[in-house]
Structure 1
Amino acid sequence: MAGTTRSTTTSGARWQVRPRHPLIPIGAAVAGLAALVFAFEVPHRHSIEDNLTDRTKVALSDAGIDAEVSFTGRDGRVKVGSADEADKARDVTLGVEGVRVVDVQAPPKVEKPPAPPEPIAVKLLVDGGKVTLTGTVPADGDRGKIADAAKQAFGAENVQDDLTVDAKRAADDTDLAGLGAVLAALGKDTKAGVVDLTDHVITLTGTVASQEVKDKAEAAARAATKGQAVRNELVVGQAAAPAQVQTQLVALPTVEFENDSATLTAKGRAVVENAASILKANPAIKVSIEGHTDVTGTVAHNQALSEARAKTVLDTLVSLGIAPDRLSSKGFGESRPKVQGADDAANAVNRRVEFIVQQ
Structure 2
Amino acid sequence: MARTTNTSGVHWEVRKRNPLIPIGVAVVGLAALVFAFEIPHRHSVEDNLTDRTKVALTNAGIDADVSFVGRDGTVKVGSADEKDKARDLTLGVEGVRVVDVQAPPKVETPEVQPRQPLSVKLLVDGGKVTLTGTVPAEGDRAKIADAVKAAFGAENVQDELTVDAQRTSDDTDLAGLGGVAAALGKDTKAGVVDLTDRVITLTGSVASQDVKDKAEAAAKTAAKSGTVRNELVVGQAAAPEQVQTQLVALPTVEFENDSATLTAQGRAVVENAASILRANPAIRVSIEGHTDLTGTAAHNQTLSENRARTVLDTLVSLGIAPDRLSSRGFGESRPKVQGSDAAANAVNRRVEFIVQQ
Q: Normalising by the residue count of structure 1, what TM-score does the alignment of the two structures yield?
A: 0.70
Q: Which residue of 1 aligns with 2:287?
A: 289
Paired residues of 2:171 and 2:225 also in contact (CA < 8 A): no
Residue number among 165, 168, 180 corresponding to 1:167 in the alignment: 165
Evaluate the alpha carbon distance shift between residue 153 and residue 294 of structure 1 in structure 2; reply closer, same or farther with a 3 A threshold: same
Residue 121 of structure 2 corresponds to: 123
2:301 to 283, 300, 303: 303
Match of 1:356 in 2: 354
SS at match of 1:267: helix
Evaluate the alpha carbon distance shift between residue 318 and residue 113 of structure 1 in structure 2; reply closer, same or farther with a 3 A threshold. closer
Report how far residue 241 of structure 1 moved.
Answer: 0.6
Give ranges in structure 2 of 5+ residues lacking alignment: 1-70, 74-79, 92-96
Cα distance in structure 2, aligned partners of 1:261 and 1:251: 24
Would you say 1:317 and 2:332 are equivalent positions? no
Structure 1 runs of 4+ with >2 Å offset: 83-91, 99-104, 111-116
TM-superposed CA distance for 1:112, in Å, is 11
SS at match of 1:124: strand
Match of 1:272 in 2: 270
CA shift digits 1:146-177 (9 cap, x unpaired): 01110111111110111111122212211111
Q: Which amino acid aligns with 1:258?
A: E
Preserved CA contact (<8 Å) 2:274 2:318: yes
**Deviation sequence 1:178-209 (CA, Å, 0-9, x none):** 11110111001111111001001101001000
Partner residue of 2:174?
Answer: 176
Indicate the residue corresponding to 1:185 in structure 2: 183
Moved more, 301-310 or 140-149: 140-149
Identity %: 81
CA positional deviation for 1:101: 3.5
SS of equivalent to 1:176 = coil
Q: Give the Cα–Cα distance (whole angstroms) in 2 for the partners of residues 132 and 195 of structure 1.
A: 11
Change (3 A) 1:208 1:341: same
Partner AA of 1:228 in structure 2: G
- The one-letter code matched in structure 1 to 2:340 is A
**For 2:154, which of 149, 153, 156 is the aligned residue?**
156
State the Cα distance separating 1:114 from its structure 2 match. Answer: 4.6
CA distance in 2 between counterparts of 1:299 and 1:328 reads 22
Structure 1 residues 88 and 334: CA distance shift in structure 2, 3 A: farther
Distance 2:339 2:87 in 1: 31
The whole-number CA distance in structure 2 between the counterparts of 1:303 and 1:146 is 38
Question: Quick check: 1:341 aligned with 2:343?
Answer: no
> What secondary structure, in the 3-state scheme, does the structure 1 residue paired with 2:299 have?
helix
Task: Write the distance in 2 (CA, Å) between the matches of 1:322 and 1:84.
Answer: 63
For residues 333 and 238 of structure 2, what CA distance do their matches in structure 1 show?
A: 32
Find the counterpart in structure 2 of residue 224 from structure 1: 222
TM-score normalised by L of structure 2: 0.71
The alpha-carbon deviation at position 219 of structure 1 amounts to: 0.5
Alignment check: 8 A CA contact 2:86 2:101 kept: no
Instruction: Give CA-to-partner distance per residue, 1:87-118, whole Å, 9 cap, x none.
Output: 69979xx9xxxx934889xxxx9x99955421
The alignment's C-alpha RMSD in Å is 3.1
